[in-house]
Amino acid sequence: MDYQVMIVGGGIAGLTLAVKLASCKVKVLMVEKDEKSGLIYKGELLQPKSLAILKKLGVYEQIKENGKMLPSIEMTEFYQDGDSLELIGENEFRYDIIRSEFNTSVMLPHEKLKEILFRKAKQYPDFHHMRPAKFTGFTNKDGRRVANVSTKDGETSIEALFYIGAEGRVSPVRNEMDVQIKKYSYNHHFLTVSFPRPPTLKSSSIITTQERFLGLFPLPDGEVRSVLLIKPGEYKSMRKQGLESFYQAYIELMPEMEGYVNQISSWKQIQLMIPVRHNVSSYVKDNCVLVGDAAHSVHPMAGEGMNLAIQDSDVLGELLCWMFETDRTDPSHLKWFEQVRKPRAEFVSRLSHQAALLYSFPSLSWQKLRMKGIHNTERNNRLHFKQMLNTSGLGIWKFSIVDRMKQIGLVPHSFGSRSIPESEQTKHFFTEQEDYPWLKQ
């Protein structure tokens, strides 16, 4: 046996898992096909549960030093009539409604987080990596799986006790596992780009009209990551019209962007993002496991994809460490990973879908319904807490039918709006036993 665990993919899921395993002396190999990252933009918003996990891994101080804390998200709605905008709604969802050490989100450039995790992994002698090295499939050697890896020096085969597919949306490990995959697509695309931000932009902000959606997420170093919702085909027509049409889409919604968004000098800086959501039927087969985007991808509206990857790797990392520490390396124990993570990831996937629907229909009546729902959720402490808890990853407290009636105004939002005491809040946080149920064995 060459390694105890082989991880395919050196993204956030692969790196988080590698740090955890190497820290508990599991001999781990991570293979990454790209010498450099291909996409300019990927997930950058870290939610509270991910921050708690990164603290356990010993990198939280670096996250705080290099990231931008964003404790709330502001939502501004305008009615647009030609060039004129009328302010018709302002709301704010606050993480500090959650009584936890980790009641904020943090924006951190994706590549910076990877760099921090990679540096941490290299501190452990049990961490090994190959890059560029592409996993191409398994072969059978005397009844055991062996991984084929293609490197600059040619083909090589690697044998491990467990193989982890952490290769993102296109996953050869998943293909080999022959699991089913359910895909959902959407009636919109996004354009995403970072550029210097005006000093007035300090919080995460979503600015919407009956037709438009612009998300703005301040980054450290005076930059902002932006996400503009467009119709399919609009990217092509905007490119034809030139960058001016792109600048105008921003300046129309936020006049302070003048002089800032214009610093984007080429379409090459702007990335087209086509939202797809998928879920696989099973995360585990024999000695193979899927984590992160290989197992599920969520609609980007929720800002959760990278967080699910970190949270998967935390649970799988703890489980594999326990399996090796207690000499229980039978693959049947991997069922615990799927048992904990699949329902949670599917819950977040549904949340991301609901968030996408809120902004999917360009009409005034839909905008009014959305505004009512957001306003009533913000004003009712219980609904506000549930919203933020479910987003944070720290726990789950589902909305009831009565909650839904309050959101759409069929029941007054002031009904049952007392603030939730800490003792009641903590009942809805995931306990250590719920995160790592095998430990009570």
Ligand X SMILES: Cc1cc2nc3c(=O)[nH]c(=O)nc-3n(C[C@H](O)[C@H](O)[C@H](O)COP(=O)(O)OP(=O)(O)OC[C@H]3O[C@@H](n4cnc5c(N)ncnc54)[C@H](O)[C@@H]3O)c2cc1C
Task: Give the interface with ligand X as residue ranges (CB under 6 A).
Answer: 8-14, 31-34, 39, 41-45, 134-135, 166-168, 172, 192, 271, 273, 292-293, 300, 303-307, 309
Output 149 or 420, the one with its CB closest to ligand X. Answer: 149
Output 292 or 373, the one with its CB closest to ligand X. Answer: 292
Output 292 or 420, the one with its CB closest to ligand X. Answer: 292
Residue 172, SS3?
A: helix
- Nearest approach, Cβ of residue 141 and ligand X (Å): 20
List, as one string, the DSSP characters of 17-81: HHHHHHHTT--EEEE-S-SS-S-S----EE-HHHHHHHHHTT-HHHHHHHSEEE-EEEEEEEEEE
Output 227 or 371, the one with its CB closest to ligand X. Answer: 227
- Nearest approach, Cβ of residue 294 and ligand X (Å): 6
Residue 418, SS3?
A: coil
Output 31 or 319, the one with its CB closest to ligand X. Answer: 31
By CB atoms closer than 10 A (0-12, 13-18, 19+), residue 287 is: middle
- Nearest approach, Cβ of residue 16 and ligand X (Å): 8
Instruction: Give me 213's structure tokens.
Output: 């959606």
- Nearest approach, Cβ of residue 195 and ligand X (Å): 15
Q: Which residue has the tokens 């606050």?
A: 94
Parallel/antiparallel/unpaired status of strands 204-208 and 223-230: unpaired
- Nearest approach, Cβ of residue 150 and ligand X (Å): 9
- Nearest approach, Cβ of residue 293 and ligand X (Å): 4
Output 114 or 386, the one with its CB closest to ligand X. Answer: 114
List, as one string, the DSSP characters of 69-114: EE-EEEEEEEEEETTEEEEEEEEEEEGGGS-SS--SEEE--HHHHH
Reduced to 3 DSSP states, what percent helix, strand and coil does the chain have, rounded to the nearest 5?
40, 25, 30
List, as one string, the DSSP characters of 240-275: HH-HHHHHHHHHHH-GGGTTTGGG---GGG-EEE--
Output 229 or 420, the one with its CB closest to ligand X. Answer: 229
For residues 243 and 237, is the Cβ–Cβ distance under 8 A?
A: no
- Nearest approach, Cβ of residue 131 and ligand X (Å): 9
For residues 54 and 46, is the Cβ–Cβ distance under 8 A?
A: yes
- Nearest approach, Cβ of residue 35 and ligand X (Å): 10
Output 33 or 49, the one with its CB closest to ligand X. Answer: 33
